[in-house]
């Protein structure tokens, strides 16, 4: 009986911890090598996207930039996280990725340093995003490049959209515009 009670208490504590942890608890490295706390985006809606320069979905950079230009002044931000996890479609260095994004898509939204979004090397931020016990919302798996994680103004995961859902899809626009 004591072990059951102890188990329930531990499960309750873990659930409480997941409810208290937010995206603001993470620090990430920008593509320029600077460390930034995601708490800088407190009160904003955040779209976190794992990106790649040599992918069939790479043209989504254009729509991500379009969203950032249209809504960026209205407490919304896109954060790009380059990843080479899927068929080595992001082989470049941070400098090469930054130059590619600027030259080909005019990217001005914040881009972060290249990370891993799956397997044993998964970045702690993505471990949080993909694990219900940590994010308090849902388990998910990063299936491919340009998967979108939508974070609400309280710093909590609200929704996940896979690569096939373009950044300017109505469901995403509605989410951004919803007060």
Beta bridge partners of 157: 151
* Residue 101 a catalytic site member: no
- Other Cβ atoms less than 10 A from the Cβ of 173: the count is 14
Catalytic residue among 55, 150, 166, 176, which? Answer: 55
Q: 170 exposed, middle or buried (CB, 10 Å; 0-12, 13-18, 19+)?
A: exposed
- Report pTM: 0.88
Domains of the chain: 2-177 (3.40.30.10)
pLDDT of residue 73: 87
pLDDT of residue 74: 83
pLDDT of residue 12: 54
pLDDT of residue 10: 54
List Cβ neighbours of 111 (8 Å cut-off, separation of 6 or more): 30, 31, 51, 79, 80, 81, 82, 97, 98, 101
Tokens read off for 3 = 């072990």
The continuous run of DSSP H or E covering 151 comes out as strand 148-151
Angular region, 44: left φ>0, alpha ψ -120 to 50, beta rest = beta
Beta bridge partners of 36: 28
Low-confidence ranges of the chain (pLDDT < 50): 14, 16-18
């Amino acid at each position: 009986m004591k072990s059951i009670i102890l188990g329930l208490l531990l499960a309750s504590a873990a659930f409480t911890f997941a409810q208290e942890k937010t995206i603001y608890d993470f620090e990430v490295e920008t593509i320029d090598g600077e460390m930034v706390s995601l708490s800088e985006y407190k009160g904003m809606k955040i779209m976190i996207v794992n990106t790649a320069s040599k992918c069939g979905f790479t043209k989504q950079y254009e729509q991500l930039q379009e969203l950032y230009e249209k809504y960026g002044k209205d407490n919304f931000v896109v954060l790009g996280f380059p990843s080479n996890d899927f068929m080595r479609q992001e082989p470049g260095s941070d400098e090469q990725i930054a130059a590619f994004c600027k030259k080909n898509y005019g990217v001005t939204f914040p881009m972060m340093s290249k990370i891993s979004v799956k397997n044993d090397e998964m970045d702690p931020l993505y471990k949080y995003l993909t694990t219900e016990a940590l994010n308090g919302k849902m388990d998910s798996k990063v299936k491919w490049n340009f998967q979108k994680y939508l974070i609400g103004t309280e710093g909590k995961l609200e929704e996940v959209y896979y690569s096939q859902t373009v950044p300017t899809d109505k469901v995403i626009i509605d989410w951004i515009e919803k007060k």
